[in-house]
Amino acid sequence: MPRSSPDLARSAMAVLQPGFDGTVPPAWLRRALGDGLGGVVLFARNLTGPARTAGLVAALRAENPAVVVAVDEEGGAVTRLEAGTGSSFPGNRALGVADDTGRTERVARAIGRLLAAADVTLDYAPVADVNADPANPVIGVRSFGPDPALASRHTAAWVRGLQGAGVAACAKHFPGHGDTVTDSHLALPTVHAAAGVLRERDLPPFRAAIEAGVRAVMCGHLLVPALDPDAPATLSRRILTGLLREELGFGGLLVTDAIEMRAVAALHPPGEIAVRALAAGADAICSGVSSPGGESVYALRDAIVEAVHAGRLPEERLAEAAARVLALAAWHAGRAGARSAAGRDGETGEAVGLEAARAAVRVTVPRPAGPDGAAPRAGGAAGNGASPRPRDTGVIGDDTPPPLQAPPFVVDLAPRPNPAADPAAPTGLLGALGESLPGTTGRTVTAGAPELPALPEDRPIVLTVHDAGRHPWVRELLAEAVRLRPDAIVVETGTPGEPVGAVYVATHGVSRASARVVARWLTGGK
């Protein structure tokens, strides 16, 4: 490590937010916290239940009481605390479809209660991106929707709800990841829109978050030539300081997305990314993957210290960034009363999540047909005569007869999960149907072996898909299955497409809450 003052080294440690392996703090992490490490990011691999999560956070705070403990808990597909079961709350697109900002605020407050119980400081949510391109491979239903006004009002509501529970919110991914067709986990996306379009479409939700008092913003690994043709947003002073700080007036913590993502990792080594991001205006460097002994964290520290000595990173800029990390920790410490009050408000997370998920489900069914005016029945034997057109779409109604009368065979056509989601997080419909109709069985089909299983002729068929419109192999198998069984029920958990099958259900997201709502409706439960 270069010769430096202890204060400079601690400032360099303060701006780092690494992840780690295991369910207890390893020795290197305890040592780093003692050396001034300012943040830690928790992933599903670290969390094994509410009590142990709270114990883990307490152990981190025992080494550094001011540590910023961060986590990705968006609801929907991106959950860390509930990765093993699926989230109790629908994600952003479901909330946007229902378009009730009061409900959005209650969902965020319930997520805040979940995090407050573990003493988490910072939630890397909400996603404030306007999903302008339906082919977007990484945002999709994580966004409130394609309309800037809708995304703005729900972003603000989400921030109010979460922070009202005493947990800091983080609007992401500035200046907007919605108009991309490249996944920044894999390569650097480019947003080709003109500056005027960006200001009218992508920036309003971030303005709304700032006006709502959001404590943090996460920048995206995006090349936005209309704003800076030379550097991705993470490394762009024009975007982070000129636009976010000076023009939009944001004064809180600015954190990077994970620097091991290929969008920036392909451009520079980790230490260089950290230095350039800090120089551009970032305050905290997120690194989700660390070496087993913590060497990578100390290498980042050393690169930052060396850049200060070389004059590439002003020491005042580093001190400013470290001060913002400490300011967020102080805000969290001062919100203990809000966290305690949120835990006593009497509203259960399960009830809030189910209500929100139910409000977002849309069902498309054939109109009544036939001489007696009866609607064709789904879920019976093949060839029941259900015509796919014309159709009516609406919300789930208590008076709607359940389509399933017997345990179904469920085929889950499952593309690669969103890289932001934990790979273990289940879609949940097979399990939820099994709870209501014992004897339910199924198969999962992936892109690695895209072959439709034999569909039993004597059982109802349920086909689950996610973003079928973006995956040709899913569309092909879905079409084949519906041709073989036109009475099949189709459940789309991503962005809806053209309705197919006898009953087409759109949940607008993946969550345990959404799966339970759909299963209860399909089987006649409430």
Residues 248-293 have pLDDT tens digits of: 999 999 999 999 999 999 999 999 999 999 999 999 999 998 999 9
How far the first Cα of the chain sits from its last, in Å, is 63
Which range of residues forms the domain containing residue 379? Answer: 361-522
Residue 92 lies in a domain: yes
What is the arithmetic mean of pLDDT over 463-480?
95
What are the backbone dihedrals phi and psi of residue 461, each rounded to the nearest 5 degrees, phi first?
A: -120, 130
Residue 231 has pLDDT above 50, yes or no: yes
Q: Are residues 215 and 125 in the same domain?
A: yes
Per-chain mean pLDDT for the chain? 91
For residue 414, name the pLDDT band (cuts at 50, 70, 90).
confident
C-alpha to C-alpha distance for 130 and 124, rounded to whole angstroms: 17
Q: Are residues 323 and 410 in the same domain?
A: no
Q: Is 257 a catalytic residue?
A: yes
Residue 4 has pLDDT above 90, yes or no: no
Residue of 72, 257, 283, 487 with catalytic role: 257
Residue 354 lies in a domain: no
Whole-number CA gyration radius for the chain: 24
Token pair for 271: 């230490």
Residue 349 lies in a domain: no
List, in order, residues 6 or more apart from 293 with CB less than 8 Å away.
28
C-alpha to C-alpha distance for 82 and 85, rounded to whole angstroms: 6
pLDDT in tens, 12-56: 999 999 999 999 999 999 999 999 999 999 999 999 999 999 999
Q: Are residues 334 and 412 in the same domain?
A: no
pLDDT at 342: 78
C-alpha to C-alpha distance for 147 and 201, rounded to whole angstroms: 8
Q: Are residues 338 and 406 in the same domain?
A: no
E strand segments, 100-219: 122-123, 168-174, 216-219
Residue 510 lies in a domain: yes
C-alpha to C-alpha distance for 354 and 396, rounded to whole angstroms: 13
The residue written with tokens 């762009």 in the block is 236
What are the backbone dihedrals phi and psi of residue 49, each rounded to the nearest 5 degrees, phi first?
A: 130, 155
Dihedral sign for Cα atoms in the order 507, 509, 510, 512: negative
pLDDT in tens, 383-410: 333 334 455 667 776 556 678 989 999 9
C-alpha to C-alpha distance for 234 and 308, rounded to whole angstroms: 19
For residue 426, name the pLDDT band (cuts at 50, 70, 90).
low
pLDDT in tens, 328-376: 999 999 999 999 887 776 677 899 999 999 999 999 987 654 444 444 4
Residue 330 lies in a domain: yes
pLDDT in tens, 301-316: 999 999 999 999 999 9
pLDDT in tens, 52-71: 999 999 999 999 999 999 99
pLDDT at 399: 57
Question: 175 preceded by cis ω (within 30°)?
Answer: yes
pLDDT at 284: 98
Number of domains forming the structure of the chain: 2
Please count the other Cβ atoms lying within 10 Å of the Cβ belonging to residue 310. Answer: 10
pLDDT at 341: 86
pLDDT in tens, 167-214: 999 999 999 999 998 888 889 999 999 999 999 999 999 999 999 999
Question: C-alpha distances in angstroms, 479 versus 45, 87, 201, 485?
Answer: 37, 30, 35, 10
Residue 350 lies in a domain: no
Q: Are residues 169 and 42 in the same domain?
A: yes
pLDDT at 371: 45
List, in order, residues 6 or more apart from 47 with CB less than 8 Å away.
23, 53, 56, 80, 81, 83
Residue of 154, 173, 177, 185 with catalytic role: 185
Q: Are residues 173 and 52 in the same domain?
A: yes
Residue 404 lies in a domain: yes
Look up residue 502 and give its amino acid.
A
Residue 347 lies in a domain: no
Q: Are residues 509 and 456 in the same domain?
A: yes
For residue 1, name the pLDDT band (cuts at 50, 70, 90).
very low
Token pair for 297: 């964290």
